[in-house]
Copies of this chain bind each other. A is one copy, B any other.
Amino acid sequence: MMIAPLIQPEIREFIEKKEFSVLKEVFSEWAPADLAELISELPEDEQVIIFRLLPKQLQAETFEYLDFEVQSHLLGNLAKKQIADILNDMSPDDRTALFEELPADILRQMLALMSREERVTAMSLLGYPENSVGRLMTTDYIAVKENMTIAQVLHYIRKYGKDSETLNMLYVIDDESKLIDEIKMRQVLLAQPTRRIKTLMDHKFVSLNAFDDQETAIQVFKKYDYYALPVVDNEGMLLGIVTIDDVLDVEEEEVTEDIHKMAAVEALEEPYIDEPILRLTRKRAIWLIVLFFGELLTASAMAFFEKEIAKAVVLALFVPLIISSGGNSGSQAATLVIRAMAIGEITLKDWWIVLKREIITGLLLGSLLAAIGFMRISIWQKIFNVYGEHWLGVSISVACALLGVVMWGTVVGSMLPFILRKLGLDPATSSAPFVATLVDVSGLIIYFNVAYLILKGTLL
């Protein structure tokens, strides 16, 4: 279990002593994922040395687990023959992932190194739009005809199944390559060898379209608990399969993107730690500036009430308290709704139920904070006598403003994701800071109007 980090110091010693035969023996026993982890942590020149020590098959398997950066470094330092072997042995989906990252001229060189057959597969996989199911597809699967017997199928698998990504499922196709059923390997193994595939068929199957969005694939995998799903074209022809491990990688990226968007950061192109600082800054600056322009409206709103503030400076003291309480309750509501939408718990049609719930919740939360705020001002007044003769009016104003702003924040936060989705935008973009900014500006207007109503004739 995840041995690479533990063993590394000893490995390093062997490398320094150039005891390559020992290393060769040790590594041939390792799992590809562990080897990839070790290689990634080595300095660039050692990466090539170690990689060359691996047996051919293990090279291809380990290569699939490496990051793009390490992959391209290795490709730049291996002989053409070695590269050709690795490319031909990689599974088509991992190869597509690599090719997507390569610059066009390198891609052309790579394609030239591959066998004709593998090249055709690679080219066809690259033909599907980015983020489509087609890009995740592998063409290594077992397809059988309905007239074959179990014995024939087992023989067929022994002969051609070597490259198949999953042997959990067999796909039954008709003479036009149309997918007509999927059969669990389990059923084939459990059946008598003389039976025909036809007798196991129930014509029930779940499939993806090659042009489907990858997020669709994630939802289907989650719903049906499958390890692999067949991919068909618009005519129902079987094109390939998608396995859950590739979908998992996509999902992790999608979740990270969503979380970043919710904090007003544009989707990063690389892991946080590898993203160049200037690009990282740009991706944060865009939204930060948009939010800043929004916040500039607070300066205008405050200026509008400048005369009131000058008359009653005590009102200004509670501005940060009030607007941030609205912002916090708004962020909570927005986050709950965005996540519930992302995992399919609620859809557009639920907006009314959500609104009713959030109004009640906002009322309760607002009352709570209003009560605490009122007590804080009253107690401070009794002890320190800091808020002047009109303290009661001030504390009532603050309490009423808190109630109003928290309710308003909750409603805005919960409804904005619905509005964005209705407009065809990603609800995650109604990030918490965005809601907070909106509520800051409107919160000020609520606060000063409430204060004006309550304190008119006394303090104001």
Contact = CB atoms under 8 A, between A and B. Distances in A.
Interface of A: 1-2, 29-31, 33, 37, 154, 157-158, 161-162, 164, 166-168, 185-186, 189-191, 202, 204, 206-208, 220-225, 227, 244-245, 248-249, 252, 255-256, 259-260, 262-265, 271-273, 277, 280-281, 284-285, 287-289, 291-293, 295-296, 298-299, 302-303, 306, 309-310, 313-314, 316-321, 323-325, 327-329, 331-332, 334-337, 339-340, 343, 345-346, 350, 353-354, 357, 360-361, 364-365, 368-369, 372-373, 376, 386, 432-433, 436-437, 440, 444
Contacts of A436: 324, 327-328, 436
A343 to B, nearest CB: 6
A4 B227 CA distance: 22
Given A207-B1, A220-B2, A313-B310, A272 B346 contact: yes
Contacts of A260: 335-336, 339
A247 to B, nearest CB: 10
Contacts of A303: 317, 386
Given A185-B185, A189-B167, A440-B324, A361 B296 contact: no
Given A296-B321, A302-B317, A252 B310 contact: no
B263 A336 contact: yes
Q: Copies of this chain, how many?
A: 2
A360 B191 CA distance: 66
B340 A273 contact: yes
Given A309-B313, A376-B296, A2 B365 contact: no
